[in-house]
Chains A and B, each alone.
Chain A
Amino acid sequence: MERNLINVKHMDSLDGKIYGISNTVTMVNPYKCYFIAHYPGGRVIKGNNLFDTGWDDLPDGIIRLQYKLSTGHVINIPKYRAYLHLVECSESLNGGRIFHSVNIKGMGDKSIINFKIVLKQDLYSKFKIGDIIVSEEKEFIQTPSWKFAGV
Chain B
Amino acid sequence: MSAPTLTFLYNYGTSDTAYSGTGGADGDWKVIDINTCKKIYTGGGILGTLPIPTCAAGTRDATIRPITGVNNVPQIYIEDATTMYHVPLASGNPNTNRHVFAVYVDGTCTSDIYLEYWDDDTCSSTNLPVLSGTSAYPHSMVNAIRTTASAPPSGWTGASSNAEYLAGFAHRLPLKDASSVSNEAVYFNIYISIPYDSPLFHNQPVETFRYLYS
Contact = CB atoms under 8 A, between A and B. Distances in A.
A46 to B, nearest CB: 15
Interface centre among B3, B32, B35 (most CB of A within 10 A): B3
Nearest to B125: A23
Given A6-B35, A53-B214, A88-B212, A141 B120 contact: no
A135 interface: no
A89 B210 contact: yes
Contacts of A95: 34-35
Given A20-B119, A141-B110, A52 B3 contact: yes
Given A1-B31, A87-B3, A21 B119 contact: yes
A2 B206 CA distance: 19
B5 interface: yes
Given A25-B122, A52-B3, 20 more contacts: A1-B35, A21-B120, A21-B125, A22-B125, A24-B122, A51-B3, A52-B2, A56-B1, A56-B214, A84-B214, A86-B111, A91-B6, A92-B34, A93-B8, A93-B38, A93-B208, A95-B35, A122-B124, A124-B125, A145-B110
A71 interface: no
B35 A92 contact: no
17 contacts: A18-B122, A20-B122, A24-B122, A51-B3, A53-B2, A87-B212, A87-B213, A90-B208, A90-B209, A91-B209, A92-B206, A93-B37, A93-B39, A95-B34, A98-B121, A100-B210, A125-B124
Nearest to A95: B34
A34 interface: no
Given A20-B121, A98-B123, A125-B124, A90 B210 contact: yes
Interface residues of B, number: 37
B65 to A, nearest CB: 23
Interface residues of A, number: 43
Contacts of B34: 1, 91-95
Contacts of B125: 20-23, 124
Contacts of B7: 1
Given A93-B32, A142-B179, A143-B180, A7 B209 contact: no
Nearest to A147: B214
A92 B207 contact: yes
A35 B111 CA distance: 20
Nearest to A103: B212
B103 to A, nearest CB: 9
